[in-house]
Amino acid sequence: MAKWIPCGAEFAHGDIIRWIEPYWKPRESPKTKGEIIGYRLVEAQVMRCDSERATLEIRPDGCKVHMLEGWKAEPLESVIRRSRDPIGRGNAQRLLVGDESGRAIVASRYLNEEERLVEAAPKYAAPHPDAWPPPLPRVRAGGSSHRKSGRRRKGPQQRPKR
């Protein structure tokens, strides 16, 4: 069995990583709030990376999708580009390889030209890849989510007759 270790956004050229990314419902207008309708577990090898972006090659059978009923996800291309931040927020894990000495040279921050920035805390809690499939978000039962939408308006109050 393969051993995965947490890496966040700290991965190097040649690493095999996996992470969970949310799948968003298409917006009807720019003002509507995005809704998560599913999750995608992506397993890929890093082909090229810099301090901000990475080019990844999806492994065979390296994409699993878990969606709400009635929704379908578009398949990923074989080579994708992603920013490091969303990968780090998706609880990224790196496949532990037998020989780590070669990786130590490639991943060394002192031998590479670019300085890596310290990763900030994640903005939202993403599901962990070990807990696949993740629980899906609850579906709202139609209507408006505004808190005042359910109030009934009353007319002017009348005094009771004596």
Which pLDDT does position 79 carry in this prediction? 93
pLDDT bracket for residue 161 (50, 70, 90): confident
Residue 112's region, left for phi above 0, alpha for psi from -120 to 50, else beta, is beta
- The reported pTM is 0.64
Two tokens, residue 108: 């060394």
Which pLDDT does position 118 carry in this prediction? 45
Q: Are 82 and 56 in contact (CB under 8 A)?
A: yes
Which pLDDT does position 43 carry in this prediction? 92
In 3-state terms, the chain is what percent helix, strand and coil (to 5)? 10, 30, 60
Domain boundaries, the chain: 4-113+121-130
Task: Calculate what percentage of the chain has a pLDDT beyond 90.
Answer: 10
Query: Which amino acid appears at position 87 of this protein?
Result: I
Q: 50-88 pLDDT, tens per residue?
A: 888 999 999 988 888 898 888 888 888 899 998 888 888
The pairing of strands 79-83 and 93-95 is unpaired
Q: In what order do the strands lie in the sheet with 53-67?
A: 4-6, 93-95, 16-24, 36-49, 53-67, 79-83
